[in-house]
Amino acid sequence: MSVNWIVLILGGLFETGFAISLGKAQQTSGKEMWGWLVAFIICVSISMYLLFKAMGGEKAIPVGTAYAVWGAIGAVGTVIAGILMFKEPVTFWRLFFLSTLIISVIGLQVFGSNA
């Protein structure tokens, strides 16, 4: 696994972080809300920067693949965090479509370009 893939995975995790921060900001008020909004700004900045870095350099990941993987990591992480932290429902269809997202991103990598 190249450094760019590690950078991309970290960027996707920070994407999850910015989504969680927004959810927490909506549940709070005052100084706590502002703390979560600052966390959002930090996470979104780091996430975008890491996505940018993963698409450059010697072993650059193509933009389409990078964005799909980054988005999928963020989506999967956010759904899992929503279930664990926000008590969102766990339904068959929710898990089914989350699984198809993961399978689709893997398919892009396996059958796409040699990134």
For 29-75, write each residue's pLDDT tens digit.
Answer: 999 999 999 999 999 999 999 999 999 988 899 998 899 999 999 99
pLDDT value of residue 115:
47
Mean residue pLDDT of the chain comes to: 93
Q: What is the pTM of this model?
A: 0.87
Number of domains within the chain: 1
DSSP string, the chain: --HHHHHHHHHHHHHHHHHHHHHHHHH--HHHHHHHHHHHHHHHHHHHHHHHHHTSSTTPPPHHHHHHHHHHHHHHHHHHHHHHHS-----HHHHHHHHHHHHHHHHHHHHS---
pLDDT, position 67: 93
Domain ranges, residue 60:
3-111
